[in-house]
Amino acid sequence: MTQPLRVAIVGAGPAGIYAADLLIKSAADVSIDLFEQMPAPFGLIRYGVAPDHPRIKGIVKSLHNVLDKPEVRLLANITVGRDITVDELRSHYDAVVFSTGAVGDRDLGIPGTDLEGSFGAGEFVGFYDGNPRFARSWDLSAQSVAVVGVGNVGFLVGRVVSGCWASGERGLLQEGGGRSSGHQVGGGPGELGPRTCCRRTDDSHPHRRDA
């Protein structure tokens, strides 16, 4: 009896799950393992879309349909490179597909982005979406916020910050002496999102500079 083509897909976000769906719909007989670093799948849809965007998050329903197929197995809480190596994957599978996505914010390379209170929007989005990679608390006491970038993420950050103000939690950062600081959220091609300036309540957390 012919064995099915064994495929490992690293990353269970939309790209990885759609890749699995295309393989299943092909003429090949396949068996697919989806490796996911996070405790839950769906990547950007789960950890990068504002909770008040139900129509976008509705895409999860179609992704669930793929995960429910018998050819697919989800293996979560596994970090490739730590829990299993790429060489090990290659030795156990006929093919390995990488669909890890963008995890960190890219440095804008402009003066001031290295100052205290400047953060990539990916960190703030991770905070309000419950991404376990990022801080669980932020100082929401600022009186002014600057968002650099007017793409989808920039608008999401602006809406969330406005919601903080509307609920009585003023902004994202308060400097000493009662003076407030602006916040910068900047984005560009290839970035996870804009940059935002804010101070964490956990000031020991390093400023992210990974690409």
Most confidently predicted of 118-122, 132-136, 197-201:
118-122
pLDDT tens digits for range 137-156: 777 777 788 888 888 888 88
Kindly state the average pLDDT of the residues 9-30. Answer: 95
Q: Is 44 helix (H, G, I), strand (E, B) or coil?
A: helix
pLDDT tens digits for range 29-76: 999 999 999 999 999 888 887 776 777 767 888 999 999 999 999 999
Going edge to edge, which strands form the sheet with 72-76? Answer: 72-76, 30-36, 5-10, 95-98
Angle at 181 between CA 186 and CA 189, to 5 degrees: 0
Contact 143, 179 (CB under 8 A): no
The reported pTM is 0.71
pLDDT at 166: 53
Whole-angstrom CA distances from 131 to 26, 92, 122, 134, 169 are 34, 30, 10, 6, 21
Which tokens sit at 123? Answer: 């960190």
**Mode of pairing for the β-strands spanning 119-120 and 195-196:** antiparallel
Euclidean distance between CA atoms 43 and 18, whole angstroms? 12
Q: What are phi and psi of 148, to 5 degrees?
A: -100, 110
Euclidean distance between CA atoms 128 and 38, whole angstroms? 16
State the DSSP string of 150-172.
-SHHHHHHHHHHHHHHHTT---S
Say if residue 28's pLDDT is above 70.
Answer: yes
